């Protein structure tokens, strides 16, 4: 194995279009963060990786290597078969193997595949080098002088749908909630798979690079956190100084939209768990009403009460942070909101958005 020549590749030499990425880290590591389009062929399960790590800390590096070999060796035939199948499915793509630091896991796989005739490359420095690139790129994006159009509005005003329509029409939308996999409230995780901070920052970087030539960005008026995701400071500052549009949508249409979004028939237990989390922020009488409505299965009334007595007052308080006034946009249909927004944005573009 020591005589096998391992071809290496740097982060700058990667090509998303012509590379096939093989991530040999554990499923948990892969789920947290990965290269675009990567396929996970883990050497170890989450539990096996934890076991080897314990051996490394409590015994020695040599003992950890021996334990790793003992776990990995029986898996090799299946691993090789999967790698060969991937190569056959994408014969024109360059196979790039990586782990976290470009260490023993990816080196072992790359050397063994090369020994068995599968041409592949090991990513120097592992995915950590890509992570450093993301952080550097975001720092560069933070230095760009851009205007912001900030779409605000009470919970349930269909802001995400409106932003999506604008993006489809080519406007420079950065859907922060979509990138985070979370809708921003205590209920925001329901029915979604929230992304890690690292994955969010990569996807944010990729979107900003797509919009690199745009003089302005359109974002939703988010708080500093979306679930467990922390927004970069330049996004928060852009929100504070941006040109704001306040969406106004009929109350009961907001309720209906929330009902359709959170699907209580499927996610009743998750909805109630979220209600429990805000129990200390509502009056005992309101909490009892929630309990009764839950027993009755009347989630529309529950959502209406949540809006009236919890979310709307909190939104009114948060809106006081802005020193400037917003352009108010009333609508009862999403198509109307999109048309009015486009007209406003085009008007501001003609006047040059204020910096």
Task: Name the residues annotated as catalytic.
Answer: 99
Element (H, E) at 21: strand 19-23
What is the distance between the alpha carbons of residues 19 and 133, in angstroms, rounded to a whole number?
A: 18
What is the distance between the alpha carbons of residues 137 and 221, in angstroms, rounded to a whole number?
A: 23
What is the distance between the alpha carbons of residues 113 and 327, in angstroms, rounded to a whole number?
A: 60
Q: How far is CA 285 from the centre of its chain?
A: 37
If you write DSSP's letter for every residue of 195-215 in order, what string do you get? PPHHHHHHHHHHHHHHTTT-S
Question: Please, which residues have CB within 8 angstroms of residue 205's CB and are 6 or more apart in sequence?
Answer: 134, 137, 138, 141
Which of 249, 238, 248, 240 has its CA nearest to residue 320? 240
If you write DSSP's letter for every residue of 235-249 in order, what string do you get? HHHHHHHSEEEEEE-
Which of 145, 134, 315, 147 has its CA nearest to residue 222? 315
Q: How far is CA 62 from the centre of its chain?
A: 38
For 52, phi and psi rounded to 5 degrees? -65, -40
Which of 141, 149, 143 has its CA nearest to residue 202? 141
């Amino acid at each position: 194995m020591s005589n096998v020549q391992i071809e290496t590749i740097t982060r700058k030499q990667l090509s998303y279009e012509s590379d096939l990425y093989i991530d040999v880290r554990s499923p948990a590591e892969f789920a947290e963060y990965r290269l675009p389009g990567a396929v996970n062929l883990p050497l170890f399960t989450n539990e096996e990786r934890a076991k080897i790590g314990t051996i490394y800390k409590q015994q020695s590096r040599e003992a950890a290597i021996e334990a790793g070999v003992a776990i990995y060796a029986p898996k090799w035939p299946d691993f090789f078969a999967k790698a060969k199948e991937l190569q056959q499915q994408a014969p024109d793509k360059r196979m790039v193997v990586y782990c976290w630091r470009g260490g023993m896991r990816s080196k072992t796989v790359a050397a063994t595949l090369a020994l068995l005739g599968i041409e592949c490359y090991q990513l120097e420095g592992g995915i950590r080098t890509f992570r450093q690139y993301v952080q550097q790129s975001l720092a560069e994006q933070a230095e760009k002088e851009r205007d912001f159009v900030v779409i605000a509005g009470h919970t349930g005003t269909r802001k995400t749908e409106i932003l999506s329509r604008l993006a489809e029409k080519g406007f420079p939308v950065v859907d922060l909630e979509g990138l985070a996999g979370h809708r921003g409230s205590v209920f925001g995780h329901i029915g979604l798979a929230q992304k890690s901070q690292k994955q969010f920052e990569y996807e944010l970087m990729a979107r900003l690079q797509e919009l690199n030539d745009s003089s302005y960005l359109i974002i939703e008026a988010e708080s500093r956190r979306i679930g467990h995701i922390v927004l970069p400071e330049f996004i928060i500052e852009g929100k504070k100084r941006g040109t704001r549009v306040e969406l106004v949508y009929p109350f009961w249409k907001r309720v209906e939209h929330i009902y359709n979004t959170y699907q209580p028939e499927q996610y009743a237990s998750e909805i109630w768990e979220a209600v429990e989390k805000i129990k200390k922020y509502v009056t005992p009488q309101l909490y009892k009403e929630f309990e009764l409505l839950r027993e009755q299965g009347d989630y529309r009334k529950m959502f209406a009460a949540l809006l009236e007595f919890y979310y709307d007052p909190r939104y009114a308080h948060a809106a006081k942070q802005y020193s400037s006034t917003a352009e108010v946009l009333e609508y009862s249909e999403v198509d109307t909101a999109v048309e009015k927004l486009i007209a406003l944005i085009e008007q501001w573009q003609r006047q040059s958005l204020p910096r």
